[in-house]
A and B are shown apart, each in its own frame.
Chain A
């Protein structure tokens, strides 16, 4: 099963490598990982999407929590949450048919075209991972995907409760 974990940790050199090292050392899976400082610059927030059964997840949470740099860890997928991922994709748009079609699909998915070249469109799309998958699939039926990059997902719990130090 897919789980999304939010981790608050000290924004110190080596802290990220400890997390990544832990996952490889203990043969845990990383589907995606994103990291950036929070509004408090001394703290970074990592979002990890991982796959594993309950037993593996329990170990992941405990092992991450055991790292000295880690302040808090919380699983987002066991409650209501908002999850977003950013996609930038460069597609072939060399004739008017493909340009029209790409524009139409982009509008339907509520993406936006952020750059135009002679032969290409660059599109930005935000959403949960499934929406991004669907968009790429739809696009690839219409035109050639030249390059794509995804940010990996970030997430936050719904409601009043906040994850803060």
Chain B
């Protein structure tokens, strides 16, 4: 019997199918044409053609954030691959599993400055979890299997696989062998928390008088929100989420005290600042959370649970570090609390919650809308929440609208909130929303964006048309780069250097030109009805352009270099 032989291109497709990939997001080009030819000749995997490779990475990313499945991107060598860089960095910063297959010139030409040659492995080295140069076609299947394994385990992240053209062409063939049960001697993600550390953590928690749970994106990535809710209810403690962690516990849960950090609620930041024990779960003490690290929560004993040891004691020293998968560690912790017959100190809890209520009653996350005033952006988010029953997937771009959405759309479930938190990538929102819609065609999928961000990937309206992806785009149009302008107002003496958007297009006409529906909202009295209308259209993409008050700032806001609870509550009012 002769062994069946395959081309490298066929092997890539076969490997992806063995790994149960359904979609690839990409854009063809010279060095990767053989792979596109192989994709054309099968129907297990669907290729989604974007209009710019950056959008392919964000679309894969959005798909992954909503489903938990590894997103796959395909790009040609040179500019095709470099266009992926921003999307890879975005995924890296938020620990999103992604496999990027990048074409490369033939191995015989590598290093010769050949047409469309870029060292993509070199370019992406600081923003990937790992990368592979394929140099032998027989290795392709196992390299792809390894790429998926590395991307999706431990602290997830993007993996780049470089595929030179001569490994893909029909002339070269080899047998197909794949080992999907990957084992690597140099890579063993630590999974269980150290029992001694768990004991210490449980003891510290049981002695706490003012405990707060601070959870982040790790909870979402680990699908651990149910366990988190159980833990919080056992502890009866207040819980705050990072921007990446929203939806980790329901935004309407009685123990939830809002997002923390730069634009977090006053009660969340005050609770952190006054806590005696902070239980950090899958969060990394980002500078947008801590404010000045020297002044960070001086009285708290910090228990830090994270799968990535480098996240622990990087910015804030952890008193009790626990390295492990957050869901497993939380279960260990619950078991240990049970073991030591834990029951919360009800009296201390009562005082603690009473104190928190005082902070809550300040209602720091609020706004005022006069009937004859321009529409306040927060009002749009509230309307959006009401109409969708709080059940929509909300993919956000970056800027003021992102913060307003985080503040005014309490997410009931994990994976509902899709945003570029770490990298802060403008242009992320629309392609990410498209990835979500592809996975959940029957759900409301919103792209909340601004007049600046939407123009960074607006060409994807064309992809939406091609694949029938009827997302609802809501643009909070303030005719300026809102967050930049806010900083210029607050820090740069009101000098609006390049933050004003002159010659904006008529977004509704742009949408119509791509074959979609545009809805213009100018005044408050038409807001609710027109938004209702937008969400009632199920089979077409609706672009809602809402003119909002350009002078509105996002509050509360950290006072620069202050402690975590030093905040501007509203214009001119400090804590």
Contacts and interface: CB of A to CB of B under 8 A. Distances in A.
Contacts of A68: 129-130, 150, 184, 186-187
Interface stretch (A13-21, A75-83, A127-135, A150-158): A13-21
A68 B187 CA distance: 6
Contacts of B187: 68
A32 interface: no
Contact of A70 (B129, B186, B313): B186
Interface string A40-66: 000000000000000100110011011
B309 A9 contact: no
Nearest to B187: A68
Contacts of A14: 121, 131, 133
A11 B434 CA distance: 41
A67 to B, nearest CB: 8
Contacts of A1: none
Interface string B169-189: 000000000000000111100
A137 to B, nearest CB: 39
Contact of A13 (B133, B184, B314): B133
A25 B310 contact: no
Which of B122, B186, B309 gathers most chain A CB within 10 Å?
Answer: B186
Nearest to B309: A62
A63 B126 CA distance: 12
B336 interface: no
A69 interface: yes
Contacts of B129: 68
Interface string B308-320: 1110011000000
A152 B186 CA distance: 26
B125 interface: yes
A157 to B, nearest CB: 21
Interface residues of B, number: 19
Contacts of A70: 186
Is the contact region of chain B dominated by helix, strand, or loop, or is it mixed? mixed
Contacts of B313: 55, 58
Contacts, number: 36
B323 to A, nearest CB: 10
Contacts of A66: 308-310
Interface string A1-42: 000000001100110011001000100000000000000000
A68 B129 CA distance: 8
Nearest to A24: B126
B308 A25 contact: no
Is the contact region of chain A dominated by helix, strand, or loop, or is it mixed? helix
B186 A9 contact: yes
A13 B130 CA distance: 12
B309 A10 contact: no
Given A13-B133, A17-B125, A59 B310 contact: yes
A155 to B, nearest CB: 21
Interface in A69-124: 69-71
Nearest to A60: B310
Contact of A17 (B122, B150, B310): B122
Contacts of A55: 313
Contacts of B150: 68
A17 B310 CA distance: 20
A71 B186 contact: yes
Contacts of B130: 68-69
Nearest to A18: B125
A165 interface: yes
A18 B132 CA distance: 12
A132 to B, nearest CB: 33
B310 A69 contact: no
A65 B308 CA distance: 11
A58 B150 CA distance: 24
A71 B185 CA distance: 7
Contacts of A69: 130, 186
Contacts of A10: 186
Contact of B310 (A13, A21, A63, A165): A63
A69 B133 CA distance: 13
A21 B125 contact: yes
Nearest to A21: B125
B31 to A, nearest CB: 19
B309 A65 contact: yes
A92 B121 CA distance: 46
A71 B280 CA distance: 29
A22 to B, nearest CB: 8
Nearest to B127: A25
A61 to B, nearest CB: 9
A24 to B, nearest CB: 9
A65 B310 CA distance: 9
Q: Which 10 pairs, one residue from A and one from B, show the smallest C-beta to C-beta distance?
A: A68-B130, A62-B310, A71-B186, A25-B126, A62-B309, A21-B125, A68-B187, A63-B310, A10-B186, A66-B310
29 contacts: A9-B186, A10-B186, A13-B133, A13-B135, A14-B121, A14-B131, A14-B133, A17-B122, A17-B125, A21-B125, A21-B126, A25-B126, A55-B313, A58-B313, A59-B310, A59-B314, A62-B309, A63-B310, A66-B308, A66-B310, A68-B129, A68-B130, A68-B150, A69-B130, A69-B186, A70-B186, A71-B185, A71-B186, A165-B185
Interface of A: 9-10, 13-14, 17-18, 21, 25, 55, 58-59, 62-63, 65-66, 68-71, 165
Interface of B: 121-122, 125-126, 129-131, 133, 135, 150, 184-187, 308-310, 313-314
Given A21-B126, A65-B309, A68-B150, 6 more contacts: A10-B186, A13-B133, A66-B308, A68-B186, A70-B186, A71-B186
